[in-house]
Amino acid sequence: MRSRDGDYSFTRSISSIIFLLLYSSAIFADEYIISYRYSVKNATLYNETLYISKAMKKCTGKPYDTLILDPQKSENLKEILLANQDEFIEFLYKIGLSVKHREETLNGVNDSSTILTLPSKCFKVDFNDNSVKIAPLK
């Protein structure tokens, strides 16, 4: 759009600022590879591991679900996820965890094991002053 004095750079700058504000989470967000494994054997927690690493290549896909967490005055993603562990685990259930369960009874002795797994998945993570937005890519 052209203004009356013939200068349309102002209008172009306003539209570019609006574009950046709308898509800033997609542009400025960091990408992380996150995987999770939770093992229970005979009703006892056997192992729980959370692996987080910054993506070395740009991940492809679009964010499809968002989890907003309190950063707890930390910039370390693993610390934030461990501080908000219950919310993060519920979020993982929602986006899809793989569940393997085995139960066997031999001579009156019950033996069971359950393994919950989130295979390595790319997430976009946007750190703000008072929140952290985490979104998996599809």
Instruction: Give the residue extent of every domain in the chain.
Output: 29-136
How many CB atoms sit inside 10 A of residue 25's CB? 16
Check pLDDT > 60 for residue 40: yes
Mean pLDDT of all residues in 83-101: 91
Check pLDDT > 70 for residue 43: yes
Look at residue 121 in the predicted model and tell me its pLDDT: 93
DSSP annotation of 134 reads E
Tell me which residue has tokens 């052209």. Answer: 2
CA dihedral 100, 115, 62, 67 (to 10 degrees): 130
Mean pLDDT of all residues in 72-95: 89
pLDDT tens readout for residues 9-21? 555 555 555 544 4
* Closest C-alpha to 52, from 124, 116, 135, 120: 120
Mean pLDDT of all residues in 81-103: 91
Look at residue 7 in the predicted model and tell me its pLDDT: 53
